[in-house]
Structures are given as structure tokens and as C-alpha cells.
Amino acid sequence: MSAVDVPSGLPATRRTPLPGDPVLERLSLNQKTTPSWDLPSLVEGCARAGLGWVGLWREPVQEYGVERAARLVAEAGLQVSTLCRRGFLTSSDAEGRRRALDDNRRAVDEAAALGTPYLVMVVGGLPEGDRDLAGARERVASAIGELVEHARGSGVQLSLEPMHPIFCADRGVLSTLGQALDLAEQFSTAEVGVTVDTFHVWWDPEVEAQVARAGERISSFQVCDWITPLPPDALLSRGMMGDGHIDFRHHLRLVTEAGYTGPIEVEIFNAQVWAADPAAVLATTARRFAEHVLGE
Amino acid sequence: MSAVDVPSGLPATRRTPLPGDPVLERLSLNQKTTPSWDLPSLVEGCARAGLGWVGLWREPVQEYGVERAARLVAEAGLQVSTLCRRGFLTSSDAEGRRRALDDNRRAVDEAAALGTPYLVMVVGGLPEGDRDLAGARERVASAIGELVEHARGSGVQLSLEPMHPIFCADRGVLSTLGQALDLAEQFSTAEVGVTVDTFHVWWDPEVEAQVARAGERISSFQVCDWITPLPPDALLSRGMMGDGHIDFRHHLRLVTEAGYTGPIEVEIFNAQVWAADPAAVLATTARRFAEHVLGE
């Protein structure tokens, strides 16, 4: 199956985007799925397709201007599901730690200005040459404690994203939902939640129990597929829903039973998806979302 | 760092292999680390280097003859640490399941003939097009129950190897040591144990607790490194000890405190290692083993 359906070879999009379509209204397109779209094109594309939400990244938002981006999204009738991302809190030297905390405080302020209550936290991997995984995990916990102080009262929750163990060394030392909850539960739900991304958690024998445990701490539910063979670049190894091995309906049922009713964000890092026309990517995303995630 | 040290650029091997060297006596070279060696070359190489053990694979052993291989190893003064491998027990059709069970029974008999008490079990991934992970895991548990009946009295333990979640879809749906122990503990320790491979378990936030829980069920301790960036072929992504992010002494301490005193097997699937001269690979393995795993 190709990651992006070729429109000419298919009947016209099966779902006609209608205002108020209950499936599309829960779909959020994460900006990294169509990185070749600038912010106005992204917002226009999502609104035209009938989506209710968009997931934004800090760098393009900063470039466009945070306040201006907030107005652009609101005027299009969309809401920001999450702001991606900060974290990277594992530095073992004082200066690196200070810089990371400063940047995270700015990210909290940007999320507040954008009107999204959720800042996704990718906590960071092992520092260069450092093999002390337990130490890196302790530094993350300590830094989250400091950031909570800053975020309190801002209306922004730090949403810890456990990362697939494939990224433990170089992206995120929080490796399971259970581990993320052990940390999150040291704070109030308003302060620290969790992002549940199928790509990261689908393999976990504890996922059913831990999603139930997460309950109202689930601030974001994200979907993309696990494909094999794994593409050569592990960072670009995410697949379009339906191309891989994940049972999305099962995971949607889990988060729904845990009480989650918010947007469902599609975030796909994949060279083939990135090379395709972003409008075709969005059309495929909407169709696959209805076929594999939320539709009948 | 290069995966295989270039002998000409280095002083002569720092460790002189001495008969009775207590470090080398615990080292086992898994056959897949030097696949270009035929069985006699492998056995001769290990014996000459002062190793106490060798880890064998079924296919080259079958080709050489199981009884003949057992004699070859014994006459060289080596012992077989493990036989790799069987498992692949997730087939969802009756014929596939029957064939897998037959093959596993043969593997048990081969391990017994070789004189190793441990058959490493890689339980298999999701069948083609099947997204029911829980179902696959249930089929594994059921099949292990059948195989235990055959293995009982043979002197061979089925050693369940939890696989890194990177392989959940296509190699092994047992993803954590805790999950493997949940299954193993349904049987006696003589019947079902676990293989602890640093590559597969190093990221696990539960690894300390689960290795302690495993105790005398640990039948094999295997080491190789997690390297970044991950090589393009995920199956060949294992690194030579010292090239990556794993703290081997920490994991050796864990298995030692759990009571494990057996051989430590080095199994490295890596294109660069496979392309090198096998004698150089073994020399590097022995040196890195002493530097990063067991030596002072």
C-alpha cells in the first residue's frame, strides 16, 4: 500500500467534507505531517477539509508570529490541539540545564498565547557519551518539577509523551506510559498530563491498564502506524494509518473508555509522505482516519 | 568508534588469552557474530582465544550434523551456552501452528543432543495482515504450554527471549522481561526460563525489578550495544560493546545479584561486523568484553 493515495487512480474522496462532520471534527492534522505547507496554507487546508483542529510546532509558529498565528487559526474556525514541543531536559551540565528550562518556559508562554492548554513534552535522550539512564530520568523528573512552577496559572499543562523505546537513547528516556504516569502523578492533572501516541505505545503489554490509569490525564491522543520493514531513517519511520500493524480502533476504545473525548491528532514523520503534495496527504489522512480510526 | 578494531593500528591484543583466564572463561561467542566462519573454524577460534563457551545456531549445526557438532565442541574443551533458536509460534492457522510446533520439538531434541540445557525462544511477530496483538500473545502462551510437555524430561529449558519493542510487529511479541516472566512463571524453572539480552531490555524502566524477579530463571545473559544513529536495516542494528549507549556493568550487576553466574554471550547482528575478518571480530569482542562488561 502506498502511504499517500494517488487521487487520479481513485474515485473522488469518499468522504465529502461537510461542516459539522462528526468524524472530521475530531481530526487534527499535526503540522509535521505536511511540513511543506506554510502556516496559512496549513490552516486553510485544514479548514477547507472540514477539520476541527490543527496541531502546531513551535518553530513555524515563532517564524509567523505567535499572536498572529493564534488569530489566523481562530479566524479559520480551528482550534489548536497541541503545541509541539519542548522537553529535552536531560542535560547533565548546569548551563545546558538552565538553557533548556528557559526554552521550556518560553514554550509554555507560547502555548498560552496560542490558546492551547497542552504543551507536548519530549523529554530528551542520553547526553553524548553518558550511559547513566537512571540519572537522565531523575534529571527529567527534577526539571518537570521546576517547570510546573512556571506553568501553574498559565492554563497550560505539560503533556509528557512517552516515546517508543527505539528513541530511548537519543530522543526520550520516558519509555512507557506507566513510567510517564509515575512522574505525572506527582503533580495535579491541571499541571502534568500525558500524550498517548499509538506509534509509541502500541507494543506495550501494559497499555490497556495504563491508559485506564491515565484517565483524565490524557491530554492528547495521536495516531500513526508502525510499518515494516522499518524505513532506513528511524526518525522517519512512522506510517499512514492502515499501512502497518496497529489496531487503531482498539486504542481509540481504550482512550474513550478512559474518558478522552478530545481531538485525535495525526502526526506522521515519513519521507514518502513529506515528498507528496500536502493536499493529497491531507485527503489521504482524512480518508484513512475514517477507515481505520474513527469512522464506521 | 569502529565496530571492529583494526589490529595493525593497535598494540597487540591487550589481553593475552591464557587458559583459565576468569574473564574469557565466561565469554561465549554467539555464532551469528562471526557468520562467515564455518563450525570448525568457529570452534577452533573460540578455543584458541581462551573462551569457555560458544553459542550455536540450528541451521549450521544441522548442516554439520548435530552429533558431530556436539563432539567437535566437546573435544575443543568448549561448552554450548545456548542453542538459537526456535519459537515463531504466532501463526493463526492450524497448519502453520502444527508445523511450528513440530519444528520446535525438533529444536528441543537438537539442544538435548548438543548438551546445552537452553533453547532460546524468539516467539514470533504478527502474522501478515493481522493486527490482533493480544491474540498473538495468547497463541504464544498456548504453544509454550504444548512444548513444555515435549521438553519435560529432555533436560532442555525453553528460554523465552523478550525482544526490543522495535521487533514487536515482525519478530517477537514478547516485549518486556516482565511479560516473559508472567508467562514463564506458569511453568517450573526447569521448564521455562528467560534470556536477558541487554539490547532488548536496556531501555526498560522496570529492568532492575524484573531481573531481580527473574532470579534463577535467567538461563542466558547476552550483551551487545544499542548504537545511534540506528543502522538502516533494523535487524542489523546491534553494536559492539562500547560503541553505544548501554551500561553493561550495570546490567551484569543486576543479573549477578539475581544469582546468575553462567556464560555471557555476545551476539551481534551488524553488517560492518559481519564484513570484517572473523578472527579480528573475536579479538575485538574479547577486548571490548574485558573493557566494558566483565574485566576490571
> pTM for the whole thing?
0.94
CATH (domain of A203): 3.20.20.150
Return the beta strands (E) in chain B as ranges: 27-30, 53-57, 79-87, 118-122, 157-160, 192-197, 218-223, 225-226, 238-239, 264-266
Instruction: Reply yes or no on whether the pLDDT at A149 is more than 90.
Output: yes
Residue B56 belongs to some domain of the structure: yes
Cis amide bond preceding B105, omega within 30: no
What's the confidence (pLDDT) of residue B19? Answer: 58
Residue B1 belongs to some domain of the structure: no
User: Which residues, 6+ apart, have CB-to-CB distance to B188 below 8 Å?
Assistant: none
| Contact across the interface for B126 and A245, Cβ inside 8 Å | yes
Half-sphere exposure of A223 (CA within 13 A, CB side): 29
| pLDDT per residue as tens digits for the range A251-296 | 999 999 999 999 999 999 999 999 999 999 999 999 999 999 997 7
Domain that holds residue B191: 7-293
What's the confidence (pLDDT) of residue B13? Answer: 32
Nearest CA to B52 among B33, B67, B73, B35?
Answer: B73
Q: Which residues of A touch B229 (CB under 8 A)?
A: 170, 233-234
* DSSP assigned state of B84: E
What's the confidence (pLDDT) of residue A3? Answer: 74
| pLDDT per residue as tens digits for the range A115-126 | 999 999 999 999
What's the confidence (pLDDT) of residue B4? Answer: 77
Residue B70 belongs to some domain of the structure: yes
Q: Quote the minimal CA–CA distance from A295 to chain B in Å.
A: 18
CB B199 within 8 A of CB B224: yes
Q: What percent of chain A has pLDDT over 70?
A: 95
What's the confidence (pLDDT) of residue A212? Answer: 98
Task: Calculate the average pLDDT of chain A.
Answer: 94
Q: Which residues of A touch B133 (CB under 8 A)?
A: 202-203, 245, 247
Q: What percent of chain A has pLDDT over 90?
A: 92
Q: How many domains does chain B have?
A: 1
Element (DSSP H or E) covering residue B107: helix B94-114
Partner residue facing A165 (CB), from B164, B170, B244: B164
Q: Which segments of chain B have a pLDDT < 50?
A: 7-17
Partner residue facing A126 (CB), from B166, B232, B245: B245
Q: What residues in chain A have their Cβ under 8 A from chain B's Cβ atoms?
A: 126, 131-133, 137, 164-166, 168-170, 175-176, 178-179, 202-205, 226, 228-230, 232-234, 244-247, 250
Q: Quote the minimal CA–CA distance from B62 to chain A in Å.
A: 29
Residue B235 belongs to some domain of the structure: yes
Partner residue facing B228 (CB), from A169, A244, A246: A169
Amino acid code (one letter) for A257 = E
Nearest CA to B172 among B181, B158, B161?
Answer: B161
Q: How many CB pairs under 8 A join A and B?
A: 80
Instruction: Reply yes or no on whether the pLDDT at A13 is more than 80.
Output: no
Q: Can you tell me the mean pLDDT for A24-53? A: 97
| Contact across the interface for B170 and A228, Cβ inside 8 Å | yes
Q: Quote the minimal CA–CA distance from B230 to chain A in Å.
A: 7
Residue A179 belongs to some domain of the structure: yes
Residue A3 belongs to some domain of the structure: no
Residue A10 belongs to some domain of the structure: no
In this prediction, the answer to ipTM > 0.90 reads yes
Q: Quote the minimal CA–CA distance from B70 to chain A in Å.
A: 36
CB A121 within 8 A of CB A87: yes
Determine the 3-state secondary structure of B146 from DSSP.
helix
Nearest CA to A288 among A244, A251, A256, A250?
Answer: A244
Instruction: Reply yes or no on whether the pLDDT at A101 is more than 60.
Output: yes
What's the confidence (pLDDT) of residue B295? Answer: 78
Residue A5 belongs to some domain of the structure: no
Q: Which residues of B touch A169 (CB under 8 A)?
A: 203, 226, 228, 244-245
pLDDT band at A221 (very low <50, low <70, confident <90, very high): very high
Mutation for testing the B interface, residue in A245, A253, A254, A293 having most B CBs under 10 Å: A245
Nearest CA in chain A to B165: A203
What's the confidence (pLDDT) of residue A19? Answer: 58
Q: What residues in chain B have their Cβ under 8 A from chain A's Cβ atoms?
A: 126, 131-133, 137, 164-166, 168-170, 175-176, 178-179, 202-205, 226, 228-230, 232-234, 244-247, 250
Element (DSSP H or E) covering residue B128: none
Q: From the centroid of its chain, how far is CA B118? A: 10
Dig out the grid coordinates for B128 from the structure. 501478515
